[in-house]
Each structure stands twice: as C-alpha cells, then as structure tokens.
Structure 1
Amino acid sequence: MPSSSEIIAKAERLLRHRFGGVQRLSEPERLSGSGSAEVFRIRVANQPLFPHRSVILKYVPETGDILDDATLCREVAAYQFTTSLAPQHQPGPTLLAHDITDRLIVLTDVGDGDTLASLLSRPDPTARRQIVRDLGVALGRMHAATAGREEHFRVLLSRMLTAHPEAEAAYDLRDRSLVPAIDLGTDILQRSGVAVPAAVHTLADRAVRKLSSTRARAFTPFDLSPDNIIATQRVKFLDYKWADFRDVTFDLACVIGGFPQYLGTQPLTDEETDVFLRSWVNEVRTVWPTATRADYLHSNILAALVGWACSSVALMHYGSLAGALTALDTAALDAGDDDQDAGEPSELLLPAADKEFSAEQRMMRLDLYETFSALARFAALGTEPGDGCVAEFARIVSARLAQDPEA
C-alpha cells in the first residue's frame, strides 16, 4: 500500500499529464471510502490551466478478492459515462483523470454534505420524509436521464476492457453471480427449515429474469450504500464500482428493503416508502408511463425485493459473493445447473433461542432481519393473490432472526 504522499505524487503527475502546467496538491484530508479504497480531499494550488481549488483522490488497492479487484475498469467507465451527461443530469462527481495501472481516480469535489446514513439516523420524521423525497427525485432523474443510453456506456466499458484485457475475465462476475445467489438463497432457506412457498419461488424466478430484462433499464450504481450518498444542494451518488444498466426496480427495492448489506439506518416506514415512490414516479412518468400504475409498480418492486432478500441470505452464508462462487463450480453456474449443492443449513438462520451467536453473526442476522421485515411490510401492501403468502413467509424468517427470542 503506497503512503498518502506517494498517492498525492502520482496524482500530481497524472493531472500534469492530463491538463498541463505544474500541479501542486497539498493539505490531504482523509475521507471515508468504500471498502479498501483510500479517499482524500486535496487542496490544489492556484494556476490558470486547472480551475479546481480542491479535488478528490480515490486510490483502489488490489485486495486479492477477484470481485473487488475487477471493479476499477467498470467504475472508471461509469464515471466517463456520467461525466458525458449534461451537468444538470450528472448524478455525482465529474471524472478529471484516471490511471488504471496506478489504480487512481481523480474527481471533482462535490463539497461537504451530510451522508444519507447520517440524515436517516435523525429522529425528526419531517426531516426524514424530506430526505427520502429528495432521494426519490435524485434516483428518478438519474434513471430518466440515462434510459435508452446503454449503448454509449457499453462502448466506454468495451474500450476500457480492450485497453486492460486482464480485467475482462472478471469484470462481470458480480452480475453473473447474482443469478445463482438468488437461487442459492431460496435453497439455503429451505435447507435451514424454512418453507419457501410457490409465490416466493415465482417472484425469485422473476427477479432473475429482471436482471437481464430490457424493460425499464437505466444507469444505476446498484449497491446503494447510504454512506456513499450525500446531500449538498441536491443528492449525489459517489460510488460506481458496480454501476451498470439494469432494471431500475432493483434500486427502488434496495431503498425500500433498508439497504441490504448495510447496517445503521432505520428502515423506511410505509409512509416514507410512499413518499419515496411518489417522488420517483413523478420524475420517470414520461419515460415509463406504466410506473404510474401502483399495482404494476408494486409487483415489480416486490420481485426485486425478493431477489435482494434471497441473494443476501447467500452472501451472509458464504461471507461474500466471491466466497459463494468459490464454493460452487463456476462452469456449472454459467450453465444454470439447478442441482448444485448449496451446502449445509445456515447457522445464521437458526432461531435465536437455539444458539449463542458471535457479535459478527448477530450483525449479519440484524441485517437480514431488517431486509425480511421490510419485505414483509411491503408485500402486505400488495393486492395480488400471492402477496399475503409472501408477507407471511417474510414474517416467519424475520421472527427467526429477531435478537429477542420472544419477538
């Protein structure tokens, strides 16, 4: 791992090559980053060829995790794509320079702002409704502005992979892992003594199909983490390492599901969910008129939410998606073999009274509890014949995961 001074020196050379002149960077302020990334806000000495007075440096070290190490080319292509949008449509910072070999990205500084995580932790319900409304607007504008522009993103990503062929074999492993992760999740639940009703299987299958569906596709960061979303004058998305064009209802389900795989935010209430969806629909209604149909929208989000919940079970069981892929035969996964062994029942899904869980296990169970509780509440709002069955299934799972055995 290079020191901060070495990272800054590399950034100076990179900016000098990109913009000319003599770039002087100083006063590094370490910011919170995603995963193993090192992120700094840096002051820039005044000079005419470079108008920015501060920039953000993001250094992404290799970790040895095949999924993590494959993200950099995708992230740079995503920033190239969003930077090409009109300023009013850019969902996050602008890409200034990058170097894949040095694993360094230089971005514009979007300024100080509160993270979504801190804003949602506030007890004021009026303030929470406002940030949830703002989040719905920001997601809707991003989706509406990028719908139909997938070919542009594919060209940028293809160029990046052509220039760095070592990344090509693994760059889409995350997407390819999601399908088996959803299937594995339902299998692990059943092996752990949870009856998975036909309605849940149907929705899980639908979630798998939605991952490759050409309907309602737009640019999405996909893993929406509240600590990588900030509110300044408007909501900005900061992390694109898994960004791509996908079915947008997975973004909606991620928010409604309490941000699966992220702990620390109080899940949305039914009222907040309604505020969030109304603000999103208002931004996309001209692009996807069917989104204005409440029953249609609920049905599609519910399928995506089942996908999030089931894939989260697999992720927590194996520790990571890379771990899940290691546990299975990759060739069989690509062939869609449904007979793969998902392993033993998951200890994580045992009732609270049956085992003394470690602190790490309790954290993972809490994350799953929040996701399945959100699934139960959202399914109960539906009017389809199987929605009540899905809600009851989710309540059974969340009851197992409740920290209090009496819950």
Structure 2
Amino acid sequence: MQSVESTVEAATALLVARFGGSPELSDPEDLGGSGSSMVLRCRLSADPFLQERTVVIKQLPPQKVGEPVAAKATDGGEDFGPDALGMLREVVAYQYTNTLAESVRPGPVLLAYDINQRLLVLSDAGDGTSFTDVLTLQDSKARTGALRKLGRSLGKMHAATFGGADSYTTLMRRQCQRHHISPEAIQESDINVGELIESGVELMTTNGLTIDPVVQRYAMEAAERQTKSEYQVFTPFDLAPDNVMLTTNVVLLDYEWAGFRDAAFDVACVVAGFPQDNSTPSLDEPETTEFLAAWRAEAQHIWPVLSDDEVFHDWVMSALIGWAFLSLIMMYYGRLSVAEHSSFVFGEDPDNQEVSRSLRHMSEEQLEDLATTVEAIQRFSRRRDSSNFEAVGAFAGVLLKVLAQLGAFPHERAD
C-alpha cells in the first residue's frame, strides 16, 4: 500500500544506493501530484555527498492487476503498463536535460530513480507561480514580462538541444535494454503528432468539410516536419500552464510525453493559448508579439532563415494549423484511444445536423478550447497581407461559426 511513510523510506534508500552516506528525509510536504501520482517535498539532512537541502519525490502507485500492457518484457519479466512507460520516458528526458548547462536546463535535476518502484527523486525547483496564475491573476504588465521570459527560456532550450536527437535516442535505447523492453514499444505508445495531423485532415475531407488548399498545405508541412531533423529539438510537448512555473527562471515540469519534435510546435502552443487547456485566457496581440520576439532573439542564430519575417510567420502558422487538427482529434477521441477510431463525421454547413451529432460528445470546455486555438489562427492570419494568410483567416472564420453553433464561446476575445 502506497503511503507517505513508505514513499519517503523508499526515496531515502534510493539516495543511499546512489550517493552513499546516510541522508535523512524529513517534514514531507504534499505538493499535489497529477493524476494518481504522489509528489512530496522533503527536507534533506546535511550530507557530504549531496548539496541539496530539499528534494522532491514523485511516485506512481503500483501497477494494478489487469492493467493494460503497453510494453511486454522481452525476457519474460514484468510487463510495462502505460504509466510505467511514461515514467521511463520521463527518466530519459531528465537524464538528457541533466547534461545541459544550468543556464539552459529547462527543469529539475534527476538525482535518483527506480522504474520498478515507479519512483523519482528530483532537485527542488523551489516555490514559484504557475503560468495558470500568471495568466489569470496578474496584470497585463506582469503577463507580458512572464511571456517574454518564457519565450527566452524556450528559445535557449531549443537552441541548446538542436542536434541532440541521437544522444537522446541512445539514452532511451539503454533504458530499454536495461528493462528488457523493445524501443519500438516506446515509439508505439508515444503521440505521433504528424500522423494525427494527417488523420485529422483526411477524416475532415472525406466527411464533407472543404479545406482550402492553402490550409491543407500548411497542415501537411506541420506533419512532415515532425520526421525531419531541420527543426527537431527537445520539448516536453505537454506545455500546459500548470506545468510551467515562474521562479527566478522558467521551470518546465512533467516530462511524461517529452521527446524530440518540431520546435515550432512549442512556439505555436503558447501563441494558441495552450491547446487542450482551457484554464487561461488567450494571448492578446501585444503579448504574442513580445513572446515571439523573445523566442527569436534566442533561437534564430541556430535557424538564420527565421530572421525573415515571411518565413517565420509561415513557420508558426503551419504549426498553429497543425495544433488545430491535432487538438480536435485528441480531444474528441481521447489521447490514448485516438488511433483506434476510423470514422469521423464533420459537415461543411453549420446547420448540418451531422455536425451536431458528430461533435456532441465533446464537452463545452473542449469546444471552447478548440475555438480559442482557431481564434488564435484567425488573429495570426492578420499579421501578413498575403493571399495565403487571407485564405487561412477565411477558413478559421468558417470553423468558428461551426463551433459557435455547437456552443463554443471562448471565455476571452482578443478583439
């Protein structure tokens, strides 16, 4: 049975095995984990082998009998459920980011871990303000400053990790060998961004919605970039506001879905108002401009072509459109079951009853979140006077009418 006492005891044993000495953990503070995980902050006694005075412990509950198998052990050992695979991805992400310079490291340091016990011991990032509170409770000046800092932090991380995919893959393969599972099982359990974007486009077009060729081209560019090395960088992917903490630095938390993906998706995620999270209002145009300028200032020396405004705006636009298709599919079907569905009905006419039937299963919050992303696309289309951006803006307008007819009313309009 998982308890605070047993988790602290297991973490202490891990630290002893990893660093030696006789560290003692005390005063556990519940930080509130996501889902069923337990996350504690503990004081650490003075120890010659550890500089930390507080640490954070994260532990998932034991695997339940009958839990779905996500990866079978190749040696007949214990199979991996979805949660255990997520923790393995998290361990590899921390191992990789531990190698980065402190000035660009996006999150805590992994001190010790045990996949079989589903246990991580991390350095303490300290107390800070979540971006949920920054964007909902603070004034415009504070919001703009925080978004500028987030842009710089993401830009530094992207620039520092560009070209690191091979090292990340090597770490992942070592973990798979250590735990006797196939690396392909990790890939199969991960979110295939490109495939989901393509599926979203295909399912819409085959069921009645006319997608402007310009919009379709942008979507395909976003999908294709996922498998190209030109812009691949380390990203946690799950950039929800609650997973972004503002201290003296920006700290990114929760690496369950981390990996090497297109840098534009992180940039567009913020511009779109954090897709799949409806807890914060959308960015206004001045905030978007400040965030993008901060990111470019740190990253464009890696990609000089992005110093050209037209190229940069196209790059972000394709990712924004990719997010719209990806979000629709993942919200409608659910993250873990999206690949199991092969039918999707979406009518072109807002009055078409097939539209209502097909999307009625989506909650009002999901519809509002998707509408927020589409509104961000519409606003971004006004940044350039071009036929391509005009076509995107028109398509976004049609989609917003459909979502409004279904009951989506984004909680904050930027114009």
Partner of residue 91, structure 2:
76
Contact 1:352 1:400 in 2 (8 A): no
Partner of residue 77, structure 2:
none
Partner of residue 318, structure 2:
303
After TM superposition, give the deviation of residue 260 of structure 1 in Å. Answer: 0.8
Task: Choose from 327, 330, 334 the match for 1:312.
Answer: 327
Task: Choose from 117, 129, 136 the match for 2:151.
Answer: 136
Partner of residue 41, structure 2:
41
Please give the secondary structure, in 1, of the residue aligned with 2:260: strand
Contact 1:34 1:239 in 2 (8 A): no
After TM superposition, give the deviation of residue 23 of structure 1 in Å. Answer: 2.6
**Cα distance, 1:212–1:181 mapped onto 2, change above 3 Å:** same
Task: Choose from 245, 264, 268 the match for 2:283.
Answer: 268
Task: Choose from 245, 250, 254 the match for 1:235.
Answer: 250
Task: Choose from 379, 382, 385 the match for 2:381.
Answer: 379
After TM superposition, give the deviation of residue 191 of structure 1 in Å. Answer: 5.9
Partner of residue 332, structure 1:
none
In structure 2, the gaps of 5 or more residues are 71-81, 410-415
After TM superposition, give the deviation of residue 60 of structure 1 in Å. Answer: 3.0
Hey, what's the Cα distance between the residues in 1 that align with 2:192 and 2:184? 13
In structure 1, the gaps of 5 or more residues are 328-341
CA deviation map 1:126-150 (0-9, x unaligned): 1111111000000011111222222
CA deviation map 1:291-344 (0-9, x unaligned): 211111110111111111101111122122x211233xxxxxxxxxxxxxx314
Partner of residue 79, structure 2:
none
The two structures, once aligned, show a CA RMSD in angstroms of 2.7
Tell me whether 1:324 sits opposite 2:338 in the alignment: yes
Alignment of 1:147-166 (within 5 A): 147-166=162-181
**Cα distance, 1:167–1:211 mapped onto 2, change above 3 Å:** same
Partner of residue 4, structure 1:
4
Hey, what's the Cα distance between the residues in 2 that align with 1:208 and 1:121? 32
Hey, what's the Cα distance between the residues in 1 that align with 2:273 and 2:57? 29
Q: Which amino acid aligns with 1:389?
A: A
**Cα distance, 1:294–1:32 mapped onto 2, change above 3 Å:** farther
Task: Choose from 379, 398, 401 the match for 1:399.
Answer: 401
Hey, what's the Cα distance between the residues in 2 that align with 1:365 and 1:406? 5
Greater relative contact order structure (CA < 8 Å, 6+ sep)? 1
After TM superposition, give the deviation of residue 193 of structure 1 in Å. Answer: 4.8
Q: How many residues align?
A: 391
After TM superposition, give the deviation of residue 68 of structure 1 in Å. Answer: 4.6
Contact 1:41 1:56 in 2 (8 A): yes
**Cα distance, 1:196–1:170 mapped onto 2, change above 3 Å:** same
Tell me whether 1:282 sits opposite 2:297 in the alignment: yes
Partner of residue 73, structure 2:
none
Contact 1:295 1:383 in 2 (8 A): no
Deviates more, 1:162-171 or 1:115-124: 162-171
Partner of residue 75, structure 2:
none
Please give the secondary structure, in 2, of the residue aligned with 1:304: helix
Hey, what's the Cα distance between the residues in 1 that align with 2:361 and 2:30? 28
Task: Choose from 220, 235, 249 the match for 1:220.
Answer: 235
After TM superposition, give the deviation of residue 5 of structure 1 in Å. Answer: 1.9
Q: Which amino acid aligns with 2:364?
A: R
Partner of residue 335, structure 1:
none
Partner of residue 114, structure 1:
129
CA deviation map 1:215-268 (0-9, x unaligned): 122211122111011111111111222222222111101111111111111111
Contact 1:177 1:325 in 2 (8 A): no
Partner of residue 368, structure 2:
366
Alignment of 1:9-88 (within 5 A): 9-61=9-61, 62=63, 64=68, 66=70, 68-88=83-103
Hey, what's the Cα distance between the residues in 2 that align with 1:406 and 1:366? 5
Hey, what's the Cα distance between the residues in 2 that align with 1:113 and 1:134? 14
After TM superposition, give the deviation of residue 57 of structure 1 in Å. Answer: 0.8
CA deviation map 1:345-364 (0-9, x unaligned): 269x9779986998961111
CA deviation map 1:58-117 (0-9, x unaligned): 113456484554222221111111111122221111110011111111100010000111
CA deviation map 1:269-308 (0-9, x unaligned): 1211110010111111322111211111110111111111
Q: Which amino acid aligns with 1:398?
A: L
Contact 2:92 2:171 in 1 (8 A): yes
Hey, what's the Cα distance between the residues in 1 that align with 2:314 and 2:29? 45
Hey, what's the Cα distance between the residues in 1 that align with 2:207 and 2:363? 16
Deviates more, 1:388-397 or 1:90-99: 388-397
Q: Which amino acid aligns with 2:88?
A: C
Hey, what's the Cα distance between the residues in 1 that align with 2:189 and 2:374? 22
Hey, what's the Cα distance between the residues in 2 that align with 1:92 and 1:125? 26
Hey, what's the Cα distance between the residues in 2 that align with 1:69 and 1:258? 30
Query: What percentage of residue pairs aligned between the two structures are identical?
Result: 35
Contact 1:29 1:42 in 2 (8 A): yes
After TM superposition, give the deviation of residue 22 of structure 1 in Å. Answer: 2.3
**Cα distance, 1:146–1:355 mapped onto 2, change above 3 Å:** closer
Deviates more, 1:261-270 or 1:181-190: 181-190
Hey, what's the Cα distance between the residues in 2 that align with 1:265 and 1:148? 33
Hey, what's the Cα distance between the residues in 1 that align with 2:344 and 2:161? 43
Contact 1:351 1:405 in 2 (8 A): no
Tell me whether 1:209 sits opposite 2:211 in the alignment: no
**Cα distance, 1:389–1:323 mapped onto 2, change above 3 Å:** same
Please give the secondary structure, in 1, of the residue aligned with 2:186: coil
Q: Which amino acid aligns with 1:206?
A: E
Hey, what's the Cα distance between the residues in 1 that align with 2:92 and 2:192? 21
